[in-house]
Amino acid sequence: MQLTVLSRISESPKRRLPPWLKRPLPSGDFGRTVDIVAASGVATVCQEARCPNLSECWSKRHATFMILGDKCTRRCHYCAVETARPDPPAADEPDRLAGAVAKLSLRHVVITAVARDDLKDEGASHFAQCVRAIHERCGATTVEVLPADFHARQECIKVLCDAGPELYNHNIEMVERLTPKLRPQGKYRRSLEVLRIAKEIAPHILTKSGLMVGLGETVEELYAAFRDLREVGCDVLTIGQYLRPTLDRHAQVVRYYRPEEFDELGAFARSLGFVSVASGPFVRSSYNAAEVFEESKRQGCVPDAPSFGRQP
């Protein structure tokens, strides 16, 4: 399958944002979401990573929570989250998180976390406590986890899988060639191994990954990454445009992909057998995550799983 549009377009990294990358002003329940998130005291990746979808998602009372603090032990050259010595995990964070999820009436919640290489289990047990707290308090809410790589330690991945999330998400972020430069403390093959281990431990849990485009990759490299993900059993794929968080501290945008290019990338990915693919300029791992999960269920690809002590 050839991607004709991609081969014809090149963009200057200094070019202003194209018109399809403009976002609406806040509306709807934006203010209520702000209040609930602030009261919970739990960080959100929406704010910390300067997500361009914040106004849209928060207007619909959707938020992606970031546990284990707002300081990361790793420095990736595309990410706006602060790199610094993290604080100890807050023992009451699982309860505060579950309370915020209940107040927002979320049917599906994404929980991500900073990398915690400073902790013995890299935060896996705390992550698992957060999943269980939501299941216990919000019995109808499905949970999607988006952890760091845990250095592909099987015991850490198992702790989180045993908590019973409905979806295990871990992003490879970019093509293999660009990973050493832009994600120096991460490893492309290690991230693939994380997804393989999660699927091996808990076959009933959907696995998901995502890539950013516009960092200088080629079409062939993207296709190779999609194939690598399918080879480790990855079920769901997201593809979105990289946007530079700051002009002086983060990797430049090499070019902006047009909406029709994302359509072609998505079509190729679906041809490889992904259960669900979200591909578009504003797609992020957690963007419209509930709809992506619902699509997977409609495809009949969410098998029955143990109850994990949920309330009915």
Instruction: For 54-80, write each residue's pLDDT tens digit.
Output: 555 656 556 678 899 889 999 888 787
Q: Of 24-33, 221-230, 275-284, give the lowest mean pLDDT range.
A: 24-33
Instruction: For 160-176, write each residue's pLDDT tens digit.
Output: 999 999 999 999 999 99
Residue 111, pLDDT score? 93
Provide, rounded to the nearest whole percent, the portion of the chain with pLDDT above 70: 76
Other CB atoms within 10 A of residue 134 CB: 27
Q: Using the structure block, give the residue that is written with the tokens 């993900």.
A: 229
Whole-model pTM? 0.83
Classify residue 300 by burial, with Cβ atoms within 10 Å: 0-12, 13-18, 19+.
exposed
Residue 10 belongs to some domain of the structure: no
Residue 76 belongs to some domain of the structure: yes
Domain that holds residue 208: 23-298
Q: Which whole-number Å values give the CA distances from 105 to 158, 218, 300, in the listed order?
A: 28, 41, 25
In this predicted structure, the answer to whether residue 48 has a pLDDT above a threshold of 60 is no
Instruction: For 113-141, write each residue's pLDDT tens digit.
Output: 999 999 999 999 999 999 999 999 999 99
What total number of domains does the chain contain?
A: 1
Residue 2 belongs to some domain of the structure: no
Beta pairing class for 71-72 and 82-83: parallel
Residue 296, pLDDT score? 72
Nearest to 144 by CA among 298, 40, 294, 311: 294
Residue 128 belongs to some domain of the structure: yes
Name the CA dihedral angle for 252, 54, 292, 246, rounded to a multiple of 10 degrees: 10
Nearest-angstrom CA–CA distance, 180 and 190? 12
Q: Of 92-106, 190-204, 283-297, give the lowest mean pLDDT range.
A: 283-297
Residue 3 belongs to some domain of the structure: no
Residue 312 belongs to some domain of the structure: no
Nearest to 200 by CA among 166, 236, 154: 154
Other CB atoms within 10 A of residue 60 CB: 15
Residue-averaged pLDDT of the chain: 83
Residue 12 belongs to some domain of the structure: no
DSSP state of 218: -
Residue 304 belongs to some domain of the structure: no
Instruction: For 194-215, write each residue's pLDDT tens digit.
Output: 999 999 999 999 999 999 999 9
In this predicted structure, the answer to whether residue 32 has a pLDDT above a threshold of 90 is no
Q: What is the CATH number of the domain that holds 63?
A: 3.20.20.70
